[in-house]
Structure 1
Amino acid sequence: MTFRHLRRTACSLLAALLLAAPALADPGRLIVLVATGTEMPISEFRAGELVGGIHKDLGEALAQQLGRRAQFLAMPRKRIAQTLEVGRADVLCMYMPEWLPGSFYWSSPFFPVTELLVSDRRWPRPLTVADVGGQQIATVLGYHYPELEHALGAEFVRADGPSNEINLRKLGLGRVRHAATLKALLDYRLKLGDRLEIHPPLHVKTYLTRCAVSEKSGVTLADVNAAIAGMHRDGVIHRIVSNYQ
C-alpha cells in the first residue's frame, strides 16, 4: 500500500469517527441540524452555513425558549438521520416521523406546512387533483408526494427538477402545466415579485411538522415540548410564518 493510499484511508477513518462521535455536552448551546438542499424561505446557505430562512428563525426561537444559544449544523439529507442518531446534534425540526428512519424522540406537532398544486392559467383550470391525472407535474427530485400518489395512482406523472424555485420558473415559462409546491415557497416567490400566471392553487394537504430530538442529547423531550408551548403562547410561530408571506 502506498503512502497516498495510507493517507486516504486515515482520512476516511477520521471522518467516520467524527461522524460517530456525539456532540460535546454544552448546556449553553442547542445544536440544530438542518438538511442542505432546501431553499428560501425554508433555508438560505452561504459557503455551507445557514444564514437565513425559517429553519434559522425557528432554531433561534427554540434555543431562546430553552435558555441556550443556537448552533446550526448543515448536512446532506441522506446523512441527517445518522448524524442525529449518534448525537452530533440535538434537534431536527420541520420533519415528520415517516420521513426520518431511526430511533428518535418526537416533539408535539406544531409547525404548519401546506402542500399545493399550482397550474398555469393559460390552460383550463383543474377543479380537483384528479383533473391533472396523466399530465406532467413538476416535482423535486428525491422528494415523495404521498397525497398526489394516492390521489392519482398510475396517472401521477412526475417531471423532476432540482428545486421548487426552478419548477416554478418552468411553470412560468410554460414548460409544464402544473407544479407541486409548498404554500410557504409559493408565497415567498410571489412576495419577491415573481410573475406567475396561475389559477387559484389546489390545496393538497396541511399538516403540523415536529422536531426530532436525539436520544443522546442533553435536551429532553419535555424541555423541547415546553419550549414549543412557549413559542405558541408568545405568538412566535405565527410571526415566523408571517415574515415570509
Structure 2
Amino acid sequence: MRRLLTLLLIWSSQSLAEQAVLRFSVAESWSMPLVRIEAEQPVEGLLYDLTQALAREVGARPVYHVMARLRLQEAMEQGDIDVRCYVSTRWFANPPKNFVWSIPLMHQRDLLVGRPGVSPQMSLGQLPAQTLGTVLGYTYPSLQPLLEQGRLQREDSRNQLLVLQKLQAGRYRYAVSNQLSLQWFNRSQPNGQRLQALTVLDEQELGCMVRNDPAIPTQGLLRALARMKQSGEIERIVQRYEGLGHQHAMPVAQP
C-alpha cells in the first residue's frame, strides 16, 4: 500500500509539472463581487470563477499575477501575462498587437451614485463644480469633457469598494461605480442607508484578451470562451453574484 501511495504521488507531481500554465492578470483595483484577494492571490469572486472555469476548459493550471491597473498594458507588451479578462476595446488607445480579442462576454453599466435622499433623476449636466469619487487608473469617457473643463475633479481610490465607502462616509457627494459593485455594496446596508444609482454614465461590452503565442493554446482559449458564453455558463457565473445583491438593486435613470 505504501509503495502504491508513493507511485500515485509521483504520478500526480509529474502530471502537475506537465500541465500547461495560464497566467491571468488581476487588477489591484478589483474588489467583490469581481474578486477577493488574500495574501496577494484571488480566492473568490466572479472573475475568479470565470478564469478557473476557462482553465479547466483547456486543461491548464491558472496562475494569477496581481498588479496595479496602470501596469497591466506594460505587462501584456512584455509577455508577462497570457490572458486579461474584464476588458473593453474602448479602453485602449493603442491595444497590444500580440493579443487577440474574445467575443463579448458580459455587459457593464457605469453609474453616477449618490447617498440616500439625493434626487434619483440627477444627471451629469446638473452637477455643480465638485469632486467625484473614482477608481485609480479607470477611464470614464462620459466624464472627460467635464474634467477637461475643470467643472469636475477626480478623487481616486485604489478600488471600487473604497470609492463607495468614502461616498457613504461623506467624503464627496457623488461617485462613479459599476452596477454590480453597487449592488454588492448595498446588500449589506440597512434600509435608508443604501447608496442610490442616479443615472447611467456609460455602458460597454467586456471580454478577454488572449496572448497570440505558440506557447499557449490561443485559439483553444478563444473557442472555450465562446462555448462558455453560448452554453450560458458565463451568464450563470454573473447571475451567481448579481443575484446576491439583487434584492437591493434599484432602477436607474437613463441619461
Counterpart of 1:73 in structure 2 is: 65
Q: Secondary structure at the match of 1:31?
A: strand
Cross-structure match for 2:211? 214
**Equivalent-residue separation in structure 2 for 1:109 and 1:190 (angstroms):** 27
Q: Report the equivalent of 1:149.
A: 144
Range with bigger deviation, 228-237 or 149-158: 149-158
RMSD: 2.6
Please, which runs of 5 or more residues in structure 2 have no aligned partner?
1-16, 243-255
Aligned equivalents of 2:210, 2:123: Cα separation in 1? 37
Change (3 A) 1:190 1:198: closer
Do residues 170 (structure 1) and 162 (structure 2) align? Answer: no
1:135 to 1:224, Cα distance in 2 relative to 1, 3 A: same
Q: 1:204 aligns with which of 201, 218, 232?
A: 201
User: Residue 134 of structure 1: which of 129, 132, 140 is its match?
Assistant: 129
Look up the SS of the partner of 1:146 in the other structure.
coil
Cα deviation digits, residues 178-229 of structure 1 (max 9, x gap)? 1101111111112233663444431122211121212335334432321122
Q: Which of these residues, 12, 17, 20, is aligned with residue 28 of structure 1?
A: 20
Distance 2:63 2:238 in 1: 21
Q: Quick one: which amino acid aligns to residue 107 of structure 1?
A: S
TM-score normalized with structure 1 length: 0.77
SS in 2 for 1:193: coil
Q: 1:82 aligns with which of 74, 95, 98?
A: 74
Q: 2:27–2:66: 8 Å Cα contact kept in structure 1? A: yes
Partner of 2:83: 91
DSSP-derived class of the 2:42 partner: strand
8 Å CA contact retained: 2:28, 2:159: no
Q: CA deviation at 1:56?
A: 1.0
1:188 alignment partner in structure 2: 184
Residues 41 and 110 (structure 1), Cα distance of their counterparts in 2 relative to 1, 3 Å cut: same
Paired AA for residue 225 in structure 1 = L
CA contact (8 A) 2:29 2:69 kept: yes
Further displaced range: 37-46 or 217-226: 217-226
Cα distance in 2 between the residues matched to 1:224 and 1:198: 38
Count of equivalent residues: 221
1:115 Cα deviation from its structure 2 partner: 0.7
Among the aligned pairs, what percent are the same residue?
Answer: 29
CA distance in 1, matches of 2:71, 2:23: 16
Q: Is the 8 A contact 1:86 1:216 kept in 2?
A: no
Bigger drift between 183-192 and 138-147 goes to 138-147
Task: Mark the runs of 5 or more structure 1 residues left unpaired by the alignment.
Answer: 1-24
CA distance 1:125–1:136, change in 2 (3 Å): farther
- Give the Cα separation in 2 of the matches to 1:133 and 1:144: 21
Amino acid at match of 2:105: F
The change in CA–CA distance for 1:30 and 1:142 in structure 2 (over 3 A counts) is closer
Return the TM-score normalized by structure 2. Answer: 0.75
